[in-house]
Amino acid sequence: MIFADRYRHRIALPDCLTVAPFCLWILVALGCSHPKPQFDPDRAFRDLVTQTQFGPRVPGSDAHARCAEWLLAQLQTVADSVWEQDFTGYSPGAGDSVPMVNIVARFGGDASRRVLVSAHWDTRPFADMDPDSSKHGRHFDGANDGGSGVAVLLEMARCLDSLPPPIGVDFVFYDGEDGGDYQNAPGTWCLGSRYFASHLPGKYQWAINLDMVGDADLRLPQEGYSLKLARPTVERLWALASRLGETAFAPEPGQVVFDDHVPLLMHGIPAVDVIDLDYPYWHTTGDTAEHCSASSLGTVGRVVLEMMYSE
Ligand SMILES: [Zn+2]
């Protein structure tokens, strides 16, 4: 409907009568019920690099504050509304009351049918999985772990601005995901999504969380909690990926991960975690842009857009 409205003025009536059924036939033949905007993988990748240039986005740091300002500025140019959720939380070495902020960007005004797409924007305070133990206290870029999901969300936000989706969409950028203690899982992880799930700004038909989706060698099996508690949404997403020929979405069970989708699942929202855990640079100083690719960001962006625009 939006497609017709946007192009109505460019096609004279007799042409329209001839061309429209043909176009419709092509769309149906391709299995496309809605036109979709074009996801630009290179622009998304530039956003990934920009985040690393701020430095590690550790809560309480200057880089974290500057990145938040940048995210807000990016989103305010495209979204219907943007707001912040301030809260405090635990960060290793800095205590229990570190200021943190979730950033929410809304598209589709107050549409009653809404979906949610999310990623965490903070980075872990230290590279405690680095193969070189002398580096365990260092910060790291978080190009994939933090940067990749944010990059896909920002580019999707521009896409939604260029061609409004048939449903309301909220993007949320979670803070405080990655400062947890491995021995105290899951209590110290996913602080932003816990806060968000306790202060929901709407009802959601489904939610998709993106985490570590930039690995140049991308492979996305189906995460365990998602399969257990949101199987129809998982199956729909992977079926759409298959239809698009996006083979990085592997339709087979993956690991069970406590990630930012779990607080939403606990509030009854069918939430899916799209995550590639098979990343050798996870929580190491090697988590840099050179180990990520625009192609991987494009794969994920196209599939999630397909989910929104096929509603
Ligand atoms: Zn992490």
119 Cα to the center of ligand 1, angstroms: 11
178 Cα to the center of ligand 1, angstroms: 5
Q: Give the chain's residues under pLDDT 50.
A: 1-31
Q: Are 305 and 109 in contact (CB under 8 A)?
A: no
122 Cα to the center of ligand 1, angstroms: 9
pLDDT given at position 24? 38
31 Cα to the center of ligand 1, angstroms: 36
Q: Across-strand partners of 208?
A: 117, 272
124 Cα to the center of ligand 1, angstroms: 6
Residue of 218, 223, 219, 221 lying closest to 291 (CA atoms): 218
pTM tops 0.85, yes or no: yes
15 Cα to the center of ligand 1, angstroms: 54
Q: Which domains does the chain have, with CATH numbers?
A: 1-31 (no CATH), 38-309 (3.40.630.10)
Tokens of 16: 């329209």
Residue type, 247: T
pLDDT in tens, 221-247: 999 999 999 999 999 999 999 999 999
pLDDT in tens, 257-294: 999 999 999 999 999 999 999 999 999 999 999 999 99
127 Cα to the center of ligand 1, angstroms: 10
277 Cα to the center of ligand 1, angstroms: 10
259 Cα to the center of ligand 1, angstroms: 9
Tokens of 92: 């290793």
DSSP secondary structure string for all residues of 219-257: -EEE-HHHHHH-HHHHHHHHHHHHHHT-TTEEEEE----
211 Cα to the center of ligand 1, angstroms: 8
Sequence-distant (6+) residues with CB within 8 A of 294 are 41, 42, 44, 45
DSSP secondary structure string for all residues of 46-102: HHHHHHHHH----TTSHHHHHHHHHHHHHHHTTSSEEEEEEEEEEETTTEEEEEEEE
pLDDT given at position 33? 56
SS3 199: coil
5 Cα to the center of ligand 1, angstroms: 43
Name residue, tokens 């986005």. Answer: 57
pLDDT given at position 212? 98
Q: How, if at all, do strands 168-174 and 220-222 pair?
A: unpaired
pLDDT given at position 11? 28
